[in-house]
Structure 1
Amino acid sequence: MLDNVMWAFGRASGVVALVLLTASVVIGIVTRSGRPLPVIPRFSVQLIHRTIALTSTVFVLLHVGTLLLDSYAKLTLSDILVPFLSAAKNPVWVGFGTVALDLLIAVIVTALLRNRIGTRAFKAVHWATYLLWPVSLAHAIGSGTNGTSGWFLVLAGFCTLAVAAAVLWRLTPRFEEAATLQEASRNSLRRPDGGSR
């Protein structure tokens, strides 16, 4: 009975983590646009992005931790940390989950050390979320018990459409226009000697 509960919770927490990760990626793309959102102040959007990202991380940890303790999944510590070495039923798909977890750890560590490593290093590693998200989606579809069921494929389709729409929006000329204006505004606040007013 307990194993059934653990297995169900492991699956559910994985689905919730994917939805939250999708929301975090979409909001992350939106916050980089430099354009304000209707009704929501810019600082609130950053706070929402951070909160959703942290909540998705909690659900990833619940997902991994539950399956680590589940006697049916039989995952080991190396299965969740070293990609593609799992003796599980679907080692490639489990490996994608491991890659996603490793990327998530890298993003979290650099976020926590942002003040020490600098913004440039943080941003360079933070770009890994653009790889983290599709790898997580592939893991969910390939190794999830419900990965190919109709309801999950519809959910995965909505997640894919949301991220694709955000990326396409970011690639529009209006985004470039807003980024150029934002950069010009920052440059106008700098003194000729490189300082700020």
Structure 2
Amino acid sequence: MIWYIARGAGVMALLMLTVSVTLGIATRQGKTLAGLPRFAVATVHRNASLIGLGLVLTHVLTLLFDSYANLNPIDLLVPFVGSYRTFWLGLGTLAFDLLLIVLITSLNRARLGLRTWRAVHWTAYAIWPIALAHGLGTGTDATQLWMGVLAVGCATAVATAATWRFVT
């Protein structure tokens, strides 16, 4: 049961963080998206980020109680020290650590200033592909057709938004 919760939370986190990254890229352009005001898109971006973070926390915490993965609390915070699929788990840990940094700086955005916050927030461009690689490398469903379609769909959404942003 725990394994299913961890897997489901990981997959749903990928979806929500894909929505967040895609909308974050799109709102940065400064144009309206599908006729929606920028503040509405920014609100969905923020809420998708928070839901994604909650799902990542569920994913991480439930894996502590999974006897197959056999993770220790240190494995969840220090990249590349876990014994279960060390490299791929390490990517997930790295993405989690970076996500926490983005969260902490976002909560302190007013104190840090826009320039500092934006510099740290740019790490989201690295977090997303690292997390995707983690899911495909360590996920037990990575070889399933539905997961491949989902991963390609998520990658296409992010790549399309990034292309639109940097080309226009």
Q: TM-score, normalised by structure 1?
A: 0.83
CA distance in 2, matches of 1:51, 1:27: 11
Deviation at 1:150, TM superposition (A): 1.3
Partner residue of 1:26?
A: 22
**Where do 1:101-112 residues align within 5 Å?**
101-112=96-107
Partner residue of 1:86?
A: 82
1:114 is aligned to 2:109: yes
Per the alignment, in what secondary structure is the counterpart of residue 81 of structure 2? coil
Q: Displaced runs of 4+ in structure 1, greater than 2 A? A: none
CA distance in 1, matches of 2:25, 2:48: 14
Partner residue of 1:179?
A: none
CA deviation map 1:128-147 (0-9, x unaligned): 00000000000000000101
Q: TM-score, normalised by structure 2?
A: 0.97
CA distance in 2, matches of 1:135, 1:37: 27
Q: Which amino acid aligns with 2:36?
A: I
Q: Highest Rg: 1 or 2?
A: 1
**Where do 1:87-166 residues align within 5 Å?**
87-88=83-84, 90-166=85-161
How many residues are treated as equivalent by the alignment? 168
Q: Which amino acid aligns with 1:123?
A: R
Partner residue of 1:74?
A: 70
Aligned Cα RMSD in Å?
Answer: 0.8
CA deviation map 1:93-114 (0-9, x unaligned): 0000000001100100100111
Deviation at 1:77, TM superposition (A): 1.1
Unaligned runs of 5+ in 1: 176-197
Partner residue of 1:13?
A: 9
CA deviation map 1:133-178 (0-9, x unaligned): 0000000000001012211011000011111101110112xx3xxx
Percentage of pairs with the same residue = 48
Q: Which amino acid aligns with 2:142?
A: G
1:62 aligned to which of 33, 48, 58: 58
Per the alignment, in what secondary structure is the counterpart of residue 11 of structure 1? helix
